[in-house]
Amino acid sequence: MSILLADIDTGATAWVLISTALVAFMTPGLAFFYGGMVRSKNMLGMLMQNFFAMGLISVIWAAVGFSLAFGGSGQYIGNLDFIFMKDLAKIAELPGYTGDFGLVIPILAFFAYQMMFAVITPALITGATADRMKFSAYAVLIGVWSILVYPIVARWVFSPNGWLFKRGALDFAGGAVVHINAGAAALAVVLVLGKRRGWPRDAMPPHNLPFTMLGTGILWFGWFGFNAGSALGANGLAAQALVNTHLAAASAMLVWLVVEKLRAGHATSLGAASGAVAGLVAITPCAGFVGGASPIIIGAVAGAVCYLCLSLKTKFGFDDSLDVIAVHLVGGIVGAMLLGVFADTAVNSLGADGLFLGGGASLLGDQFIAVVATLVFSFVVTGIAAIAIDRTIGLRVSTEDELIGLDQSQHAETAYQS
């Protein structure tokens, strides 16, 4: 079988392939996590937006996305060397992935793994814009976004050739590239889109919390691939990342529930789900750079901070329907900054030492720059795109369609029947 390469590690390849599958499974998981929280008339609209991302973004990624993110030697953007996967099955190494960063897996496996990240990132936005966005506008928005925003940020942060990577900013599995990036974009779109009719006056309770729990289970499961797969090997680092991932989710869940119990009187299942996800988000940048009890602390901070940030949306009056900003944007920032504190070169010699491990504030500074750069870039470009779409085909469904619900108005379907 001609494409077998001599220096490929089959264990690493097995792990990255299954991690790819796990990350791919997260988008359906996300669909149910969010879908359970909307009203039943918008259920299919939510599922559809997420599944559709799997279709559209994957093809865009193959066509240009990967190449823009990982082609060539530019610091700010890739090139078009790899459009439609050109040469990926043949080349010996990917630009920048040499020496310490050399891959021990087939480049196509790396391509596939990264593709799943590119898919789920814009899908995160659907939680903020729930219940009122036109399907056609959504399709255009995430299409544009996957060319103009995602690959650029991925280049900066993930590629060893990117300027933030070179500066020393660390992001093991996408705290900035995925969560801050999507969270900032969500904020921009929500500001252009406006509030749901009736918000915040009317209660819009979740229509099927079991589906939200199911989604949480799938997300948690998939996140092992998301974070531990980012080791790109089947080794102690992957094991460490997996342990960190799980413990951060666990501790964030506990802290969220405690804070919730104290402030709102009950520990809720939605709180358990939300806390776990907040912890998973926060540990994402840190997963392969921290050790010991750090993941428990990082999760705990994320659980508390994200919970407390839920009220931002009512305070500032933006209708982030399912709290993408409090969970992903805030959680991503918490993780990125705490990495500056807890990073440990004993865990990963390619990382750095954070504030608490004697590394001084320099990593913290780099992390701060990465956070701000990602946030501002994503917010601005997404905002412009959203405004452009709104002025042309319109971002938002009609009032009538919003009242009827997206399932019927956008897709001519009904979720539940006898």
Partner 1 sequence: MKLITAVIKPFKIDDVKDALKTAGVQGMTVTEVKGFGRQGGHTETYRGAEYQIDLVPKVRIELVVDDSVANNVVDVIRQAASTGKIGDGKIWVTAVEQIVRIRTGEQGSDAI
Q: Are 121 and 50 in contact (CB under 8 A)?
A: no
Query: Which residue is associated with the tokens 């531990």?
Result: 228
Tell me which of 42, 126, 216, 230 binds a second copy, using CB under 8 A.
216
Q: In the stretch 291-330, what mask flags binding to partner 1 with x, by CB under 8 A?
A: ----------------x--xx--x--------x-------
Residues 131-170 that bind a second copy (CB under 8 A): 135
339 scored as a contact of a second copy (CB under 8 A): no
Residue 42 in contact with a second copy, rule: CB under 8 A = no
Query: Residue 5 binds which entry of a second copy, partner 1, none, with Cβ cut-offs from 5 to 8 Å by kind?
Result: a second copy
Other C-beta atoms closer than 10 Å to the C-beta of 394 total 13
Residue 80, interface with a second copy (CB under 8 A)? no
Q: Which long-range contacts (CB under 8 A, 24 or more apart) does 396-403 make?
A: 396/132, 396/133, 396/134, 396/137, 396/193, 396/194, 397/132, 397/133, 397/134, 399/197, 402/131, 402/132, 402/196, 402/197, 403/197
Q: Determine, following the binding rule CB under 8 A, whether residue 202 of this chain makes contact with partner 1.
A: yes
Q: 12 vs 17, 83, 231, 234, 327, CA distance in Å?
A: 9, 26, 9, 5, 31
What is d(CA 37, CA 404) in angstroms, rounded to the nearest whole number?
17
Cα–Cα distance measured from residue 206 to residue 210, given in angstroms and rounded to the nearest whole number: 10
Least distance in angstroms from the C-beta of 405 to a second copy: 10
**Which is nearer to a second copy, 88 or 190 (by Cβ)?**
88
Nearer to partner 1, 223 or 307 (CB): 307
Determine if 289 is a binding residue for a second copy (CB under 8 A).
Answer: no
Q: Tell me which of 264, 350, 376, 393 binds partner 1, using CB under 8 A.
A: 264
If one asks whether residue 274 binds partner 1 (CB under 8 A), the answer comes out as yes
Positive or negative torsion for Cα 13, 55, 90, 4: positive
Q: Indicate which single residue of 151, 233, 271, 285 sits in contact with partner 1 (rule: CB under 8 A).
A: 271
What the block records as the tokens of 43 is 């259920």
SS (H, E, C) 276-296: HHHHHHHHCCCCCCCCCCHHH
The least CB distance from residue 260 to a second copy, in Å, is 10
Strand partners, 14: none
Q: Which of residues 220-259 bind partner 1 (CB under 8 A)?
A: none
Contact between 278 and a second copy by CB under 8 A: the answer reads no
Rounded Cα distance, 403 and 350, in Å: 53
Q: How many residues interact with a second copy (rule CB under 8 A)? A: 119
24 binds a second copy (CB under 8 A): yes
Q: Which one of a second copy, partner 1, none interacts with residue 263, CB within 5 to 8 A by kind?
A: partner 1
**Residue (120 or 180) nearer to a second copy, CB:** 120
Residue (161 or 410) nearer to a second copy, CB: 410
Rounded-to-10 torsion of CA 390, 394, 397, 399: 80
* Site residues for partner 1 per CB under 8 A: 202-203, 205-206, 260, 263-266, 268, 270-271, 274, 307, 310-311, 314, 323, 403, 408, 411-414, 418
